[in-house]
Every structure is written in structure tokens, then in C-alpha cells.
């Protein structure tokens, strides 16, 4: 075995800037929606993740200065889900908490919010996390019906009430479902992914192969006990859930039989090569390095640099990692070769492969990114080697913390130094975090 | 995946309703595999006669080759030209034919060629991106399967009817079978553009392909490539029978088809459609009726009779004067979509509009809509609010029609700034004023604006009659002052009349034309003078309307005879629409400038109307009573007294319906000719376009100049002389008309 090439930089420590560390991170098992978590509420999942974090780290509750949580599809009863979960998990009622949203990178946003607070000297200890419960989503009455109901509240006489009620028509009862679609373009994410795959000429075969790889690697990681961030969750009225239930390595043949899910009848994105609807929650404990060391913790990772980028929500919705990767590398003064572990969010196999092709294209770099040349695609042997969102599942807002923890654990196992996390998100807002 | 499909370069081009291909032999490549690709291009324009023969035989050759080659199982027809499947109509070809038989012959050749495709034992798939019009659509529907890109530029239509023709290569026969009788009539009789998604719903195309964003190639290039890949997949599927070309029809269509199979029901449909067409066209346009007749022949008498009727009727229509007039308008329109002043030195990116009234807001709407940063300024908040609401409403109606998304609407509106002051005018590249038509107010705003705008900024005045040189008199930089006369409602009227003064610079003109074209207008450029061109032509005609009214013809009757002549709006209604006060104002101004030639009716009649508040539609009362929600408006009985007061004896020798029509039209035409004679107009083409698109001159006549050509200058002068003898000098023919009358070979349009 050849010795790894020397790194461009020995350390990313910057003078005058606090080092911010991940002490620990956990997640409850990610489950396909409609399974064991189906009867819970989002804050129940978040609560379980928070309690898991407390148990694992034994951090005294009063030390935590602040809690930030990410969520995408909001349960209206717990709009500040961070606060509800924190109270339920036994955190001090003196610890403030807020909730952020940024589509699939909501917990990345929660973490970088924490990083900002620590860097600014506002806090020393922040818990960040994300939660998503796709088993239950808010389905609303139609706008017309809502309007009638609200007016009804204000109606004083019986006559007024009756006249309002008499205006209700059958179509008033048609419910409004939340769509996984861009508001600006009305295009669903799957449809966009199919077009993206076509734009980069990613074939159905390539996508199925990639999806199979993800499931196979995830299975291996699960069986090998590598998914250290998973904490068991005793679901009320049900058995304790201990592992992710979406990992299903199949055969190319089986996958080949599926019909396209979005662009019918000739598209390439299918249920098998997309991430599935998932319930789950995650949480990480962030501290300033000095605080962590003072408390006797050995940091699992250092969060160094991050960038958020955004681009055209129609045609480049899912290309965030392509734009963010070279930017964050340059910011940190590293090259692709310096990175030992890449963890990219796998929304769709087609989306990952399109990003890899885009990163490997000079034409794309020159015409769309304003760069002289391509940054190059990450080598697959360092890329999502323990599976990804396709196989482990993708509870939208909980994925970011999983990516960071997988990177941290993977770096430790492989003896690597630098890791890179990237994800795409609706609205064309992806981000990148550099690990230790 | 290896690209082993044979690429057969078929350099095709398209002639109205006939698909004729020029096929370059040298481009047949290598081996064939499952699908053959036929590329359509239009690299050059060879002469017509040789082309026709050559093309049909060569097209047959290539189809023969496809059939003969065992390895080829199917074919894909795709254009290698982005933005157009087949759109270009070669009108020369039709015009070059001397007789209807010759044209019918062309139609038959086209029919045969498309029939060959239809009957091909190997499936042929049309892959459509961009405009698929006329014969392009006929070719597409002769194929076995159609796949279209879901892009804004992809439109399907049979615009032949707009040129006074019918789809002459099997379209009248195939369309009813494909989309059902009612939809087929709708497509062919309106000639309207059908977007790809709508076409899919109608059953006109079988599959849609979404346009792609950037990949490792440009979005356009990759989208075409993707379309090709998908089309090849389907062509293969059709060949090995994993894909069926048979479309599953919805319940409604099944019911419709079932009903249409009953001869009695069909006869009722023909009758209804025919009545509707007769009512709308007043019998002035032969093409729609011929389309109905042709469809009928095919459905009632069978295949051969249908195709024969199609080619015969196509031939007959092509030589009608209506078709020639419409063709002339089409060409004129193309001519008026070019900027003959070249590219302006500085592109207009920020436009300011003064006055948020009906016109100002309309101008703002068509500007912001096309990506111009637009400032809308008014002097009062209330007026500004109304104007901004008008723009919103205009864009929102597009959202309702689904040609715009609500997101696009919002993002367009973010470029519109409504304000009461001159903030930001220092960045304006052009200012268009649409303030009240009063020379003092125009002078005031011109001076105010010149104090705040940058040196390169153009000042344009939207006025319908005030001479631009008069407005420019107070300008420090008259070379930057120009007239831009928009027509109401701005978002729907296609014409823009640009007025240059002696001092207006070429670059200013170039800039104004560029903005007009960007706004999607058909632009004519005329010289300055009272009433410019359009208002000036309308003046004498309206004066004559007043005369006719005074002679005891009631407004309803005047409307009826003017619409019977082909005007889209009756003459009395037109005055109500324009506004009686505006008409009075303009008539007075022009009367002062031109004297007797603008005489005829008594302007006092208008003045009395204004006094009584009968200002037209905007006041709810004019010649008619206008009420919200009431469709059949009634004649304003308050007018009886006014008309009685100004009553003049009618002269029976010039008061038949036809005479009244001719009195109106000859005065219009005479004034138009005068404009050309005086150099206000630079060409008859612009005169025709201005009259038809700005004033509603009957399109079937092709405009005043084309009308002189077809009616005969001599005959027209004779008419004028006849009326001159009765009424006096307002009917005196101008010198230019006399010249043309004296020389029968002289025509405005060769």
C-alpha cells in the first residue's frame, strides 16, 4: 500500500477564530414512513434523539446554552418543534430553542447556526438537530373552506351563520395536500431529478447500479456495526427500534422491472433509485474546543468551513454540491485530493450521478460556474462508502447531522484527516461542511 | 450506447402546405440499425419549379430506401434546426403559380408524398421541437407517432386560414379523424397556436418531452438530443410492437366520435359552424367556408372525394384576391418586424413611462413583460394605483390562461416601479410620455424630464395627433425627441406608429423601433405632420360618418354597413370607443391644418354631444348606451334631438348602402394616398399595415393601397369624382391617385 500523498495543509486552524467541535452526534433509526413511528408526532422523534444524545454524552442539561432544530414539513401544533422537544426531553426550561427550515439541509442550517453562535461568543454549548415525520403531514382544508370557517367565527346572528353555511359547495371539501414541489416552478423534485439525469445523459442502468451500490454498502455498514450514530428508540406501545429499516439490497433485474415514477412512460427515475419517504430525527452536541476539553470530552470532529450556494430552482435545483464543493475547498485552501471522506446527500441516484458528471466537466465549469476548469469528481472509493440517503433513508431535516456524523466516524475508522459533506436542497440551496 | 443509427441527411424545406424535401445524397451515412434519422434543414433556397419535381422524387427515393433496407425497422423525422420543426412557409411557390390548376397540382403532389409516409409499413415518428406549422403539422400528423418538446417555442397550428388558404396536404382529411370534428374545425378555422401540452390533451401529439437544463452541453442542444433519443426509443418500440400508436381516447372524445358518426348530428355540426363562420366573416372570407366544405366532402363522400376537394379548393383559394391580400399583409408584417435603422448605439434597458392612464399603464405592461426595467410615474397616487392594477390585471389574465405562472408574473412585476417623483430617471434610457393630450402639459413634462435624464436618453411622446415637432420645440435636444403612437388597448393592439421629425436622429429612430419590436409590436415609421398617418386617414372617414348621420342614417345602420364592408368595428361604435371629446379635439386640430378636405360633417354635432356628456363608452353614453353586463346595447335616445337639429337632406343619388360604404372608404383611401404623396408614408406596405393593424381597415382587402390595386385606381377616382360633384372638394382625388388612374399598369404592389 502506498502512503497517502501529503496534505496541502496540515491543519485548518485559523488564528483568531474559535475552533468548534462536534462532541457527539446521534440519531434514532431512520424508518420508512408508515412503519413504527407512524402514530408519533415530530417532537416525539426529536425528543428521542435529544434523550439519546444526553444518554450517550452524559452532558449536564444545564450546560447546554441553546438548542436549534431543523424541520421541513412543519406540524402546525408544534411550530417551534425545537422547544417542544427540548422541554419533553428534560432540558432545562431556561434553555432557549428555535427552529429553522431550509428544505433538505435544514439540520445543516441548524448546525451552522450553532457554529455561528459559538463563534460569535454567544454560547459555548449548542445542541443542533433535525426531525421529519413523513408518516403524518398537515393536510389542510381548501382556502375557500378556511375562509368560510374563519368568517363563521365572526358571524354574530344565526342568520349570518346560516347564510355563510349555505355558500359551502362540494368543492370546498377538497383537501389541500402538501407537495414535495417547488413553489416557484410547481415541479416535483422527482420530476426535476429525472430532467437533471437526462440533461447529463445519466442512463437508467447507471442509476440502478448506483442505487444498488448504496443499498449494498449500507447493508455492509449496518451488519458491520459501523453506523455508530444510531441510538435505540423504545416506541410507546411498540418494540424498541434499533436499526434503519429501509436498506434493501435488491438485484438489477428486480430494479429494472420498475416503471418510471415521475416522467412517464420513458423517464429514468424510479422508486428504487430514489430516496424514500422517511421518518427520523438526529441531534449533535457542538462546543467550542476549549469548553469541550475543559469538560473532558474528546471531540469527534472539527467543523471548519462551510458555504451555502444557490442557483436556478428550475434546471439546477439539485446541482448544489457541484457548485459548493470547489468553493468550500478553495475557502479552506484544500484540493479534492486532500479529502479522505466524501459524504454527499443522495436524494436520487440520478442527482448524484449528474453532480459527479457536472463536477467532471470543463464545459459545465466554464459555462455555468465561471471557473477555468472542472474541480473533478470525487473518487468513488472515498464516496458514501457506508451507504447514503438512498438506502439509509432521508427524513428531510434529519439528514444533515447524519452526514456529518458518518463523516466523523468514517474518518476515524479510515484514519483520515479531512472530510467533506455536501447536500442539495429544494430551492437550489446546498451547502458544504468540512470535517476535522 | 453506440450511436449506430444511420443518419440520413434530408435537407428539407417547406412550402405552404406542401412538404417538399430536397435530399442530399452525399449525406446518407454508413449502416442502418433500428431507426433511421431524417434531419430536416433549410440550408438554401433553390428555384421553385425544379425543386418541386426533384423533391417529390427524392423523397420517394429515401422512403424507398428505408423500406428496402432490411436493417431499418423504423424512422424518426427530426429537425436539426433549433426552434423550428417546419415553420417556414414559402409563399413564393404559390404566388409563382399562374392558375388554380397549377396550385392544385402542387397540393396533390404533397398529398401523395404524405400518404406514402402514412402508409409506410415501417413506423415513422415525428420528433417536434419548435414551430410545427401548416404543412409541418400536416407532415407530423401523417407520421405514425408524434413526440413534442414541452417548450414555449413548440407550437402547432394550421395558420393557412389566416392567409386565405386551407391545409392542402391532407390536413383537412386527417385532422378530423385525429382530434374529432369539433376540435379539427377549431384548429383549422382559427389557425390559432396550440402549445405542446394542449396538443397532447387534444390527441395531436402522443408524448411530451420536457426541456432540459444545462448538462455537459447547452440546454437547447441537449434537449434536441434527448428528444431524438426518446423518439428513437419509441420508434424501436413501435417497430417491435412494445409501443402502440393507438391512443386511448377519453370518455368525452369517445362520446363525441360516436355522435359524429351519426350523419344527422354531423350535418347539424356543419350547419352550426357554417352559420357561425358566415356571421363572423360576413361572407368576406372564402377560406373558412371552403375548409368546412372540404372536411364535409371527406367525411360524407369518402377518401378520394375528400382529397380531390382539398386540392381543388386549395387551388381555387390560392388565386383569390382575399388570399393575395392576406398574403400581402403577412409579408408586410414580416417587413415591419425589422429595424431598418439598424442597431441603436445604446440598448434600452430602463424605460420610464409618464402617466399611468390607460395608455401609460398599457405601455408599461408590454415593456415590463419583455424584461425591460420599467418606471411608471404619475402625479397622483390614485391614478398610479389604477395604472399598477391595470398592469397586474393584464399579467394575471395570462396566469389564468396558463401562459404564465404566478411566480413568473411576480418576478416580472418586480421590475416595475410605480412612483410619483422623478427618482431613478437618471438611469432611464428612454422616457415615453403618455400624459394628457395638451401641448402645454406635454411641454411641461418634457422640460421637467430633460432636467433629470442622462444625455443619451430618448424622449418619446405617445400622442395620437399633436405634431411631434411642436412638442419638440421646447426641447434642448430635439434630435432625441420622437413620437411613439400606441393604440388602445396597448396589450392587444399590434401596431406602433413611430413618428420622426426633421430633427430626429437616426439613432433615436433605431432606438424607438428596437423598443417597439421588443414590446412585440408591428412598427411603421412615418414623418411628422398633423395626425401623422393613422389619425389623419381616420379623420376624413369619421367626418363622412357624421355627414351620413346628419343625412338621417341611424348609428346602428352605419355600423351594419361598415362591418359589412369588413371593418371589425362599426364606424359609429368606433367613435364611441375613441371618445367623442377626443374625436372633437382631433377633428378640430386637423380641420385647422387641412381645411376643406376634412369637412363634410358638422363638428358642432360632436361639440353638442360633448356638452351633453355623451362622450362614448367611457361615459356610458355616446351613440349607444353602455351598461355593465348588458350585451345588447341600445341606441342612445338622447341623440335623437341632436341629430334632428343637424339634419341635412339626403341626396338619393349617393345614398345607397354601397354608396355610403364607398363614401367612407374612398375618403380614407384618398387620404392614405395623400400621405404617401406627401412623403408622410415611406412605402405603401407601411400604409397597408398601419391601416389594417391600427385602424381595422378590412384585412380581406389588404389595406388601402392593395385595395386601390385590386379595385382599380381608375374606378376609385371615378367614384371620388362622382361624390365630388355632389359634395365638393373633400372628395377631390389626390394627384397620386390620378397618376395611377391614368396608367393602368401602375400598381402600388407589384
Query: pLDDT for A103-116, tens place per residue?
Result: 899 999 999 999 99
Average pLDDT on B583-598 reads: 89
Average pLDDT on B91-105 reads: 85
- The pLDDT assigned to B421 comes to 95
Nearest CA in chain B to A268: B230
Task: Give me the residues of A, 300-359, that contact B with CB < 8 A.
Answer: 312, 314-316, 354, 357-358
Average pLDDT on B345-373 reads: 96
Looking at the complex, report in whole angstroms how far the Cα of residue A223 sits from the nearest Cα belonging to chain B.
37
- For residue A263, the chain B residues in CB contact (below 8 A) are 210
Ranges assigned E (strand) in B29-104: 35-40, 74-79, 84-86
Average pLDDT on A115-144 reads: 94
Average pLDDT on B564-569 reads: 91
Flag whether pLDDT at A427 surpasses 50.
Answer: no
- For residue B233, the chain A residues in CB contact (below 8 A) are 266
Q: How far apart are CA B66 and CA B542, in angstroms?
A: 64
Cβ neighbour number for residue B652 with a 10 Å cutoff: 8
- The pLDDT assigned to B55 comes to 54
Q: Which of A184, A185, A198 sits opposite B212 (nearest CB)?
A: A198
Q: How far apart are CA B410 and CA B404, in angstroms?
A: 10
Flag whether pLDDT at B549 surpasses 90.
Answer: yes
Q: What is the pTM of this model?
A: 0.88
Per DSSP, B424 falls in state: T
Flag whether pLDDT at B351 surpasses 70.
Answer: yes
- For residue A358, the chain B residues in CB contact (below 8 A) are 215-216
Flag whether pLDDT at A84 surpasses 50.
Answer: yes
Average pLDDT on A4-15 reads: 76
Question: Under an 8 A CB cutoff, do A315 and B219 touch?
Answer: yes
Question: Under an 8 A CB cutoff, do A191 and B407 touch?
Answer: no
Q: Is B405 on the interface with A (CB under 8 A)?
A: yes
Flag whether pLDDT at B2 surpasses 80.
Answer: no
Question: Under an 8 A CB cutoff, do A364 and B234 touch?
Answer: no
Interface test with B, best of A193, A195, A196, A316 (most B CBs within 10 A): A195
Instruction: Tell which residue, B177, B91, B96, has the closest CA to residue B135.
Output: B91
Q: Which of A183, A195, A364 sits opposite B212 (nearest CB)?
A: A195
Q: Is A185 on the interface with B (CB under 8 A)?
A: yes
Find the range with the poorest average confidence among A55-69, A411-425, B29-43: B29-43
- The pLDDT assigned to B51 comes to 34
Query: pLDDT for A223-233, tens place per residue?
Result: 999 999 999 99
Find the range with the poorest average confidence among A33-47, A353-367, B232-246: B232-246
Q: Is A198 on the interface with B (CB under 8 A)?
A: yes
Average pLDDT over chain B, rounded to an integer: 87
Query: pLDDT for A292-312, tens place per residue?
Result: 999 999 999 999 888 999 888
Query: pLDDT for B622-680, tens place per residue?
Result: 999 998 877 778 899 989 899 999 999 988 889 899 999 999 999 999 999 999 999 99
Q: Which of B219, B233, B407 sits opposite A266 (nearest CB)?
A: B233
Average pLDDT on B714-742 reads: 95
ipTM: 0.91
- For residue B148, the chain A residues in CB contact (below 8 A) are none
Please report, to the nearest 10 degrees, the dihedral formed by the alpha carbons of residues B14, B15, B19, B23 taken in order: -60
Flag whether pLDDT at B11 surpasses 80.
Answer: no
Question: Under an 8 A CB cutoff, do B215 and A364 touch?
Answer: yes
Question: Under an 8 A CB cutoff, do B215 and A199 touch?
Answer: yes
Flag whether pLDDT at B42 surpasses 60.
Answer: no
Flag whether pLDDT at B13 surpasses 70.
Answer: no
- The pLDDT assigned to B90 comes to 65
Q: Which of B228, B497, B544, B671 is catalytic?
A: B497
Interface test with A, best of B2, B208, B213 (most A CBs within 10 A): B213
Of all residues in chain B, the percent with pLDDT exceeding 90 is: 64
Question: Under an 8 A CB cutoff, do B212 and A368 touch?
Answer: no
Q: Which of B213, B218, B230 sits opposite A316 (nearest CB)?
A: B213
Q: How far apart are CA B174 and CA B171, in angstroms?
A: 5
In this prediction, residue B31 has a pLDDT band, given cuts at 50, 70 and 90, of very low
Instruction: Tell which residue, B556, B722, B560, B731, has the closest CA to residue B654.
Output: B722
Q: How far apart are CA A78 and CA B282, in angstroms?
A: 67
Question: Under an 8 A CB cutoff, do A199 and B407 touch?
Answer: no
Return the SS3 of B264: helix
Cβ proximity of B698 and B284 under 8 Å? yes
Flag whether pLDDT at B20 surpasses 90.
Answer: no
- Show which residues of A are catalytic: 104, 394, 424
- The pLDDT assigned to A5 comes to 66
Alpha helix positions (H), B282-371? 286-301, 303-318, 321-335, 358-368
Cβ proximity of B572 and B544 under 8 Å? no
Amino acid at each position: 500500500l502506498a502512503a497517502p500523498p501529503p496534505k496541502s495543509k496540515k491543519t485548518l486552524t485559523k488564528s483568531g477564530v474559535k475552533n468548534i467541535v462536534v462532541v457527539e452526534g446521534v440519531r434514532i433509526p431512520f424508518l420508512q414512513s408508515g412503519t413504527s413511528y407512524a402514530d408519533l408526532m415530530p417532537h416525539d422523534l426529536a425528543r428521542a434523539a435529544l434523550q439519546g444524545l444526553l444518554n450517550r454524552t452524559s452532558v449536564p442539561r444545564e450546560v447546554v446554552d441553546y438548542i436549534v432544530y431543523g424541520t421541513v414539513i412543519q406540524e402546525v401544533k408544534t411550530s417551534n418543534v425545537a422547544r417542544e422537544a427540548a422541554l419533553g426531553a428534560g432540558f432545562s426550561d431556561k434553555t432557549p430553542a428555535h427552529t429553522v427550515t431550509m428544505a433538505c439541509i435544514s439540520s445543516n442550517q441548524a448546525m451552522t447556526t450553532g457554529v455561528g453562535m459559538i463563534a460569535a461568543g454567544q454560547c459555548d454549548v449548542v445542541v443542533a438537530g433535525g426531525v421529519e415525520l413523513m408518516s403524518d403531514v398537515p393536510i389542510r382544508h381548501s382556502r375557500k373552506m378556511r375562509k368560510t370557517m374563519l368568517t363563521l367565527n365572526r358571524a354574530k346572528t344565526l342568520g349570518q351563520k346560516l347564510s355563510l353555511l349555505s355558500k359551502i359547495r362540494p368543492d370546498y371539501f377538497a383537501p389541500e395536500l402538501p407537495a414535495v414541489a417547488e413553489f416557484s416552478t410547481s415541479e416535483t423534485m422527482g420530476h426535476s431529478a429525472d430532467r437533471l439525469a437526462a440533461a447529463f445523459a445519466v442512463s437508467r442502468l447507471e442509476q440502478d447500479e448506483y442505487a444498488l451500490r448504496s443499498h449494498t454498502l449500507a447493508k455492509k455498514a449496518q451488519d458491520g456495526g459501523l453506523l455508530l450514530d444510531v441510538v435505540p428508540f423504545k416506541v410507546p406501545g411498540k418494540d424498541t427500534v434499533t436499526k434503519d429499516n429501509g436498506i434493501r439490497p435488491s438485484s438489477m433485474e428486480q430494479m429494472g422491472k420498475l416503471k418510471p415514477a415521475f416522467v412517464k412512460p420513458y423517464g429514468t427515475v424510479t422508486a428504487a433509485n430514489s430516496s424514500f419517504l422517511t421518518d427520523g430525527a438526529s441531534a449533535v452536541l457542538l462546543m467550542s474546543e476549549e469548553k469541550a476539553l475543559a469538560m473532558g470530552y474528546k471531540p469527534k470532529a472539527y467543523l471548519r468551513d462551510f458555504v451555502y450556494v444557490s442557483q436556478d430552482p428550475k434546471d439546477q435545483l439539485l446541482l448544489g454540491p457541484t457548485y459548493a464543493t470547489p468553493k468550500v475547498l478553495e475557502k479552506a485552501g484544500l484540493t479534492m485530493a486532500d479529502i479522505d471522506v466524501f459524504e454527499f446527500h443522495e436524494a436520487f441516484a440520478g442527482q448524484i450521478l449528474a453532480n459527479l458528471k457536472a463536477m467532471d466537466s470543463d464545459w459545465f465549469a466554464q459555462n455555468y460556474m465561471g471557473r477555468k476548469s472542472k474541480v473533478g469528481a470525487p473518487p468513488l472509493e472515498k464516496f458514501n462508502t457506508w451507504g447514503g440517503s438512498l438506502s439509509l433513508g432521508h427524513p428531510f431535516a434529519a439528514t444533515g447531522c447524519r452526514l456529518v456524523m458518518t463523516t466523523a466516524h468514517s474518518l476515524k475508522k479510515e484514519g483520515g484527516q479531512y472530510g467533506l459533506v455536501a447536500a442539495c436542497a429544494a430551492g437550489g440551496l446546498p451547502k458544504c461542511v468540512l470535517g476535522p | 450506447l453506440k450511436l449506430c443509427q444511420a443518419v440520413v441527411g434530408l435537407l428539407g424545406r417547406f412550402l405552404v402546405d406542401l412538404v417538399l424535401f430536397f435530399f442530399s445524397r452525399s449525406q446518407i451515412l454508413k449502416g442502418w440499425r433500428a431507426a433511421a434519422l431524417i434531419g430536416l434543414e433549410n440550408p438554401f433556397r433553390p428555384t421553385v419549379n425544379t425543386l418541386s419535381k426533384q423533391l417529390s422524387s427524392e423523397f420517394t427515393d429515401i422512403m424507398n430506401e428505408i423500406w428496402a433496407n432490411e436493417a431499418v425497422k423504423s424512422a424518426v423525422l427530426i429537425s436539426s434546426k433549433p426552434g423550428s420543426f417546419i415553420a417556414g412557409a414559402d409563399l413564393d411557390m404559390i404566388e409563382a403559380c399562374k392558375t388554380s390548376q397549377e396550385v392544385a397540382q402542387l397540393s396533390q403532389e404533397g398529398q401523395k408524398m404524405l400518404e406514402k409516409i402514412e402508409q409506410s409499413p415501417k413506423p415513422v415518428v415525428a420528433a417536434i421541437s419548435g414551430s410545427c406549422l401548416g404543412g409541418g403539422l400536416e407532415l407530423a400528423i401523417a407520421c405514425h407517432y408524434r413526440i413534442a418538446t414541452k417548450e414555449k417555442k413548440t407550437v402547432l397550428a394550421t395558420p393557412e386560414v389566416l392567409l386565405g388558404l386551407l391545409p392542402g396536404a391532407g390536413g383537412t382529411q386527417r385532422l378530423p379523424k385525429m382530434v374529432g370534428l369539433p376540435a379539427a374545425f377549431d384548429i383549422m378555422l382559427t389557425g390559432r397556436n396550440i402549445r405542446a401540452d394542449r396538443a397532447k390533451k387534444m390527441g395531436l401529439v402522443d408524448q411530451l418531452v420536457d426541456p432540459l437544463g444545462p448538462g455537459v452541453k447547452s440546454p437547447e442542444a441537449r434537449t434536441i438530443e434527448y428528444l431524438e433519443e426518446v423518439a428513437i426509443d419509441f420508434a424501436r418500440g413501435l417497430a417491435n410492437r412494445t409501443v402502440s400508436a393507438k391512443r386511448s381516447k377519453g370518455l368525452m372524445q369517445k362520446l363525441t366520435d360516436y355522435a359524429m358518426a351519426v350523419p344527422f348530428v354531423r350535418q347539424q355540426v356543419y350547419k352550426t359552424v357554417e352559420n357561425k363562420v358566415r356571421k363572423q366573416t360576413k361572407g368576406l372570407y372564402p377560406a373558412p367556408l371552403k375548409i368546412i366544405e372540404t372536411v364535409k366532402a371527406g367525411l360524407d363522400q369518402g377518401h378520394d372525394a375528400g382529397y380531390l376537394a382539398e386540392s381543388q379548393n386549395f387551388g381555387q383559394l390560392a388565386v383569390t384576391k382575399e388570399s393575395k391580400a392576406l398574403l400581402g399583409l403577412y409579408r408586410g408584417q414580416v417587413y415591419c418586424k425589422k429595424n431598418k435603422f439598424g442597431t441603436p448605439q445604446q440598448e434600452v434597458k430602463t424605460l420610464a413611462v409618464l402617466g399611468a392612464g390607460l395608455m401609460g399603464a398599457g405601455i408599461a405592461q408590454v415593456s415590463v413583460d419583455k424584461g425591460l426595467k420599467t418606471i411608471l410615474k404619475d402625479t397622483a397616487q390614485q391614478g398610479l394605483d389604477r395604472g399598477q392594477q391595470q398592469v397586474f390585471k393584464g399579467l394575471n389574465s395570462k396566469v389564468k390562461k396558463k401562459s404564465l405562472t404566478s411566480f413568473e408574473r411576480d418576478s416580472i412585476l418586480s421590475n416595475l416601479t410605480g412612483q410619483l417623483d422623478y427618482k431613478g430617471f437618471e438611469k432611464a434610457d428612454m422616457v415615453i410620455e403618455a400624459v394628457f393630450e395638451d401641448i402645454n402639459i406635454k411641454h411641461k413634462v418634457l422640460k421637467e424630464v430633460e432636467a433629470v435624464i442622462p444625455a443619451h436618453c430618448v424622449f418619446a411622446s405617445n400622442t395620437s395627433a399633436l405634431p411631434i415637432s411642436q412638442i419638440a420645440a421646447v426641447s434642448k435636444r430635439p434630435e432625441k425627441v420622437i413620437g411613439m403612437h400606441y393604440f388602445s388597448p396597448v396589450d392587444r393592439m399590434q401596431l406602433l406608429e413611430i413618428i420622426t421629425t426633421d430633427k430626429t436622429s437616426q439613432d433615436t429612430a433605431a432606438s424607438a423601433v428596437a423598443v417597439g419590436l421588443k414590446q412585440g409590436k408591428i412598427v411603421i415609421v412615418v414623418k411628422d405632420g398633423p395626425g401623422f398617418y393613422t389619425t389623419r386617414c381616420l379623420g376624413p372617414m369619421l367626418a363622412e360618418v357624421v355627414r351620413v348621420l346628419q343625412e338621417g342614417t341611424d348609428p346602428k345602420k352605419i355600423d351594419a354597413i361598415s362591418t359589412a364592408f369588413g371593418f371589425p368595428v362599426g364606424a359609429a361604435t368606433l367613435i364611441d370607443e375613441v371618445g367623442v371629446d377626443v374625436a372633437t379635439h382631433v377633428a378640430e386640430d386637423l380641420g385647422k391644418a387641412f381645411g376643406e378636405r376634412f369637412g363634410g360633417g358638422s363638428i358642432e354635432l360632436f361639440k353638442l354631444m360633448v356638452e351633453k356628456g355623451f362622450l362614448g363608452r367611457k361615459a356610458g353614453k355616446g351613440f349607444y348606451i353602455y351598461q355593465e353586463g348588458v350585451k345588447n346595447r341600445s341606441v342612445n335616445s338622447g341623440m335623437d334631438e341632436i341629430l334632428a337639429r343637424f339634419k341635412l337632406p339626403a341626396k338619393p343619388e349617393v345614398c345607397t348602402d354601397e354608396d355610403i360604404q364607398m363614401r367612407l372608404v374612398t375618403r380614407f383611401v384618398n387620404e392614405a394616398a395623400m400621405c404617401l404623396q406627401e412623403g408622410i408614408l415611406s412605402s405603401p406596405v407601411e400604409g397597408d399595415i398601419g391601416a389594417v393593424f391600427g385602424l381595422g381597415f378590412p384585412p380581406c382587402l389588404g389595406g388601402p393601397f392593395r385595395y386601390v390595386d385590386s379595385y382599380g385606381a381608375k374606378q376609385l377616382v371615378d367614384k371620388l369624382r362622382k361624390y365630388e360633384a355632389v359634395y365638393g372638394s373633400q372628395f377631390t382625388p389626390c394627384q397620386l391617385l390620378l397618376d395611377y388612374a391614368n396608367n393602368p399598369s401602375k400598381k402600388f404592389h407589384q
